[in-house]
A and B are shown apart, each in its own frame.
Chain A
Amino acid sequence: MITPQVPAADEVTEGWWEATKAHRLVVQSCTGCGRVQHPPRAVCIHCGSIEHLGWAHASGAGVVDSFTVVHRALRPALALPYVIARVRLDEGPILLTRLEGRDVNSWSIDDRVCVTWVDIEDGRALPVFQPI
């Protein structure tokens, strides 16, 4: 994929983006209630804590919750078609992402996938998913 400009991280999302520089996928976790969430927030949506939030390693494995093959370009540089998907990580949270590494018309809901990385010019990376 042609990588776009990604807005700078903020004080809440910094840890998540920092991990991507080493191609590590993390999810925000709460030591108050033991649960995880995505995207990162300043508050735990499960228990309301603002004091117990940190980062937990994610295995990078998940399953395709749903997907769509896009046939209209938002930006002139985009190669068509491409696959947008919701991937449910084994840890629970859902990520919006791309599916890559296979013919766009061969994907199915419930396919198992694993993370791979698309580097951005500023040193961060975007997680995308490919067949296991």
Chain B
Amino acid sequence: MSTGVAIVGAAESDLGVTNRSILGLQTQAVTRALGDAGLRLRDVDGFATTGISRFSAAQMADYFGVQPRWTDSTFAGGSAYEMMVARAVQAINSGQAATIVVSFASNQRSARSRSLGGGVESHTPEAQFETPYDPLFPLSYYAMAAQKYLHKYGATREELAEIAVAARDWALLNPAAFRYGAGAITAEDIVNSAMISSPLTVGDCCLVTDGGGAVVLTSSDRAKDLKKKPVEVLGYGERSTNTSMTAVDDLTVTGAVGSGADALGRAGLTPADIDIVEVYDSFTITVALTLEALGFCRRGEALEWIQGGRIRPGGDFALNTSGGGLSYCHPGQYGILLLVEAVRQLRGEAGDRQVPGARTALAHGTGGILSTHATVVLGVDA
């Protein structure tokens, strides 16, 4: 059942190595998404974005010379955009805004702005109790989750690598992907690539690229008059669980359990009803943990369940069809691009990687060190 709000526009900015500014890429994403919807900047009365400055949405308003009736600058890493879709639905349904753009862009590869240590702020407990030990941030946390998972369930690094292998196969079908044309890879390639933070190698880690995207939301009633097939927002949910590396008792269970149940419950759907699944693949292990948490397979079984081609193109579980953060694009807060790909699949615009007959999709963003989790369920009429 629809929330009464639909996504009516979706677009990427330039991706990869762009040598462009953050606001230049944001402008591309926003204007392309509005063009996709057949709308103009003056039709927008709400902006949701982050990753620009401390006042991200106000910065956007200033940059575009508008005074929006509604903004959201929620900073929650890669899950922020799924959270913003939820906030946008509420704002539109309550009448505070009519047309909202959710966007993000980063030039982290061109600007060489990414560090292995991340950005723990000096006034937080983590700065006193964790940073002094020099964990790679966020990588070492995901590595400890992977170590725990493989130990607990007797799974292998080769089985885990299937997530990266399948992502590459999808990217080979996506001309916008960073690894498009780079050729297929094997589990052995992943396992034998440079070890970064065991058991994760460089092949288990997402790309570091520039990139961005935007989606435009408005009421389902207005959406009927616009140029593209509306993609209805059916459900949403979120959980925020930790900033510390020690707060979560079981590293193999994430907040996606709650966010997914809320989102699917609101949509009146079960995991079996979902045709397209786009989940944040910051690292291979992130996908395994998220698939289990969302209920697509049982706990401890994800790595066995994905084998045999199931998540590769042509398989029976359409997962991360763009090529994901592992092989398509990872601008640092990749969650916006999960939504863009889900919309394209539901509209039948995904070219060589189109999943035939897709009517429902789930996008799940993850931020920080499995800190924030947000799920959006989308659907189109047959």
A residues lining the B interface (CB < 8 Å)? 1, 3-4, 6-7, 9, 13, 17, 38-41, 65-72, 74-75, 78, 82, 84-86, 93-98, 108-109, 126, 128
Contact = CB atoms under 8 A, between A and B. Distances in A.
B117 A74 contact: yes
Interface stretch (B93-101, B139-147, B228-236): B139-147
A101 to B, nearest CB: 15
B198 interface: yes
Nearest to B134: A74
A98 B135 CA distance: 9
A13 B125 contact: yes
Interface in B94-132: 116-117, 122-123, 125, 127-132
A74 B125 CA distance: 20
Given A68-B147, A82-B134, A9 B197 contact: no
Nearest to A13: B128
B246 A94 contact: yes
Contacts of B128: 6-7, 9, 13, 17, 39
A84 B132 contact: no
Given A66-B145, A69-B197, A84-B144, A109 B122 contact: no
A120 to B, nearest CB: 8
From A4, A17, A84, residue with most partner B Cβ within 10 Å: A84
A72 B133 contact: no
B153 to A, nearest CB: 12
From A41, A74, A98, residue with most partner B Cβ within 10 Å: A74
Contacts of B132: 3-4, 6, 126
Nearest to A105: B198
B182 interface: no
B133 A98 contact: yes
Contacts of A82: 134
A71 B194 contact: yes
B251 interface: yes
B140 A66 contact: no
A95 B246 contact: yes
14 contacts: A3-B132, A4-B134, A7-B128, A13-B128, A40-B125, A68-B135, A68-B140, A68-B198, A70-B197, A75-B134, A84-B134, A86-B245, A93-B246, A96-B135
B134 A70 contact: yes
Given A4-B132, A109-B151, 9 more contacts: A4-B131, A41-B125, A66-B151, A68-B198, A69-B197, A74-B117, A74-B136, A96-B129, A109-B148
A82 B117 CA distance: 15
A6 B151 CA distance: 33
B246 A71 contact: no
Contact of B133 (A66, A97, A109): A97
Contacts of B245: 86, 96
A96 B251 contact: no
Contacts of A13: 125, 128-129
A67 B147 CA distance: 7
Interface string B195-208: 11111100000000
B156 interface: no
A65 B143 CA distance: 13
Contacts of B116: 72, 74
A38 B127 CA distance: 14
A7 B126 CA distance: 10
A103 to B, nearest CB: 13
B244 interface: yes
B212 to A, nearest CB: 27
Nearest to B145: A66
A67 B246 contact: no
Given A71-B196, A74-B117, A96-B246, A65 B133 contact: no
A78 to B, nearest CB: 6
In the A-B complex, the 10 residue pairs with the closest CB atoms: A68-B143, A66-B144, A94-B246, A66-B148, A69-B198, A39-B125, A96-B130, A39-B129, A109-B151, A68-B197
